[in-house]
Amino acid sequence: MKAVILAAGYATRLRPLTDDIPKHLLPIGDRPMLDWVLEKVREVVEVDGAHLVTNRRFAPAFARWAESSGVVVHDDGTTSNDDRLGAVGDLRLVIEAAGLDDQELLVLAGDNLFEFSLPRLVEWWRAKPQPASAVPLHDVGDLELATHYGIADTDRDDRIVQFVEKPSDPPSTLASTLVYVLPSEHVRLVAAYLDAGESADNAGSFLGWLARREPVYGYRFEGSWFDIGNHDQLLEADNRVRLQTGLPERETYSLD
């Protein structure tokens, strides 16, 4: 199994913090955000290689970060939001560049921080009839809040029977995270999805497309989950980790 970390966004909502530093390397609890993601990945004994895809603007910063981590960094060649490949486009780039179409993949967004165990997720996934994919689901507990996420509805066997991106009328309150476990059979469908003209920008669209064609299971988890996209979410995640690691909380986020 290989891990693929998606980190090619430009994080315009976090400017000016991200003018010179990629969002995924901003400190959370005095460590780069990606350190926490990679720490989780390394708990999965089946993972024997990790790849990260980013843009040309921030590729040198990620290369410096990866020097001691063994993570292979891929530059997608883009320079702004206007020419970005999108999450699914970047996933395809890594699959093709690294020859991963015969591999199981653990795909993660580099700006998602979570408390659940990746080894338990993989163990749970392997117990399902294969080939199948799996995605962790977090119950946000509020239908209004659910309108801001990709929302899944599952049957009694946890198979996703409906997936809607930012629905006006959510079928449930189960929000999908951008953590996917894909068998090699589904990895090869990434190219088919894009070749059919589907959205390259939204990973949730790929999940919905896949769930309509193949078994995709939703893994419900407890504990915190931060999808860090703005200043409030960044501060909340930072203070959560600070509290856990014995650092003082702070009222505003800064790089000082």
CATH of the domain at 215: 3.90.550.10
pLDDT at 82: 85
- The answer to whether position 251 is within a domain reads no
SS3 3: strand
- The answer to whether position 252 is within a domain reads no
pLDDT at 223: 87
pLDDT at 8: 95
Q: How remote is the C-alpha of 115 from its chain's centroid?
A: 14
If one counts the domains in the chain, the total is: 1
- Residue 89 CA to residue 26 CA, distance in Å, equals 24
- The answer to whether position 169 is within a domain reads yes
pLDDT at 88: 97
- The answer to whether position 256 is within a domain reads no
pLDDT at 242 over 90: yes
Q: How confident is the model at residue 81 (pLDDT cuts 50, 70, 90)?
A: confident
Q: What is the mean pLDDT of residues 141-165?
A: 94
- The answer to whether position 250 is within a domain reads no
- The answer to whether position 253 is within a domain reads no
Q: How remote is the C-alpha of 157 from its chain's centroid?
A: 24
pLDDT at 202 over 90: no
pLDDT at 35: 96
Q: How confident is the model at residue 80 (pLDDT cuts 50, 70, 90)?
A: confident
Q: How confident is the model at residue 189 (pLDDT cuts 50, 70, 90)?
A: very high
pLDDT at 70 over 80: yes
pLDDT at 124: 98
In 3D space, the residue among 34, 28, 33 whose CA is nearest the CA of residue 241 turns out to be: 28
pLDDT at 135 over 90: yes
Question: Which position has the higher pLDDT, 69 or 34?
Answer: 34
pLDDT at 227: 87
Question: Which position has the higher pLDDT, 152 or 81?
Answer: 152
pLDDT at 256: 77
3-state secondary structure 83-118: HCCCHHHHHHHHHHHHCCCCCCEEEEECCEEECCCH
Mean pLDDT of the chain: 95
Torsion sign over Cα 249, 251, 252, 256: negative
- Residue 114 CA to residue 120 CA, distance in Å, equals 13
Q: What percent of the chain has pLDDT over 70?
A: 100
- Residue 14 CA to residue 58 CA, distance in Å, equals 15
Q: What is the mean pLDDT of residues 59-69?
A: 94
Residues near 85 by Cβ (< 8 Å), separated by ≥ 6?
Answer: 8, 76, 78, 93, 200
Pairing of the two strands 179-182 and 105-109: antiparallel
Full domain range(s) for residue 76: 2-245
